[in-house]
Amino acid sequence: MSIRDDVEAQLKGLVGAAMPATLQASDATGVTVYIDLSAVDTMSCQFSELSILVPSLQNAPFDKLKKWAADLSQRITYLLENIGPLEFDPANGQVLIRSTPPHQLASGTQYYEIMLSSSGNGNFTLRRYKSVAGQPGRIAADLQMTHEVLLRLVEDLLDTMP
């Protein structure tokens, strides 16, 4: 069973289950997807973070991360905002991708943030944040999407992985 198929089966099994819950799916290479869910219904889900452990990226050359960031930014065009690489940190083996531009609301700003890292075990992390106008800092915001969009996102992340 592919990771995508495993995620789909687990989502269906979590409909109506007690939340929060963490969905975990992996393959024979050690690539593991984690989704920290806060709600699941028959059509959609809400989650705070989607992360992927990518053992083959551990201490990978920085160019691999840059290429993955570029490929992701071109391929994932169906979220609420477009995404693009924002910061490159070759010394720490990290690339930060954010919404370009962030979603502007009267009450503040919301944006996606993706961190690609080759340090540790190699990983991908997707979160959403919001800032409130007139207040310093930012707070985490849950992502909401249909099962279909989440499965497409997982598939695209895995397909673009170096």
Residues contacting residue 145 through CB under 8 Å, at least 6 positions apart? 44, 45, 153
Residues contacting residue 139 through CB under 8 Å, at least 6 positions apart? 129, 130, 131, 132
Average pLDDT over residues 129-140: 90
Average pLDDT over residues 153-162: 94
Decide: 54 and 122 in contact? Cβ < 8 Å: yes
Residues contacting residue 154 through CB under 8 Å, at least 6 positions apart? 3, 4, 7, 33, 50
27-69 pLDDT tens trace: 999 999 999 999 999 999 999 999 999 998 988 899 999 999 9
The partner residues of 114 in beta bridges, in order of sequence, read 97, 126
Query: What is the pLDDT at residue 105?
Result: 81
Indicate if the pLDDT at residue 137 is higher than 80.
yes
Decide: 37 and 46 in contact? Cβ < 8 Å: yes
71-125 pLDDT tens trace: 999 999 999 999 999 999 999 999 999 999 888 888 889 999 999 999 877 899 9
- Helix or strand (DSSP H, E) at 158: helix 147-160
The model's pTM is 0.93
Query: What is the pLDDT at residue 120?
Result: 77
pLDDT band, residue 134 (cuts 50/70/90): confident
The C-alpha torsion from 66 through 131 and 80 to 8, rounded to 10°, is 80
| Local structure of 7: helix, strand or coil | helix
pLDDT band, residue 143 (cuts 50/70/90): very high
The CA-atom distances, in angstroms, between 140 and each of 11, 40, 91, 108, 110 are 22, 19, 27, 13, 10
Query: What is the pLDDT at residue 108?
Result: 86
